[in-house]
Amino acid sequence: MKSDQTYYVIDMVCWRGYSLYECTTEFMFFWLQSKLVETGACDPPSFYHKFRFSVVPFYNCDQSGLHSAYTGWTVVL
């Protein structure tokens, strides 16, 4: 398999000195997604950054979320 030059992000525990340890999981996922998009880290590689960052898809732990995970339908909160 050819490398796609993407770092896949699973979690974020700190952002610019702000600890996310005490935050809810929902907030941590929201913060992670919004900050990566805000900084342009999810953009395709360019002159300014060689690699792209992408958030690993996550699903609710219920019947709908499990169905989405197994069928490939991406549902992001």
Chain centroid, CA 69 distance in Å: 15
Report the alpha-carbon distance of residue 26 to residue 23 in Å, rounded: 8
pTM above 0.85, yes or no: no
Q: Which pLDDT score is estimated for 3?
A: 66
Whether 1 is covered by a domain: the verdict is no
Give the structural domain span for 25.
6-71
Q: What is the pLDDT of residues 22-75, one digit of tens each?
A: 888 888 888 888 888 888 888 888 887 788 888 888 788 888 888 888 887 554
- What angle is formed at CA 74 by the lines to CA 14 and CA 62, rounded to 5 degrees? 85
Whether 77 is covered by a domain: the verdict is no
DSSP 45: P
Whether 76 is covered by a domain: the verdict is no
SS3 44: coil
**pLDDT exceeds 50 at position 1:** no
* Structural domains of the chain, count: 1
Whether 39 is covered by a domain: the verdict is yes
Are the beta carbons of 1 and 9 closer than 8 angstroms? no
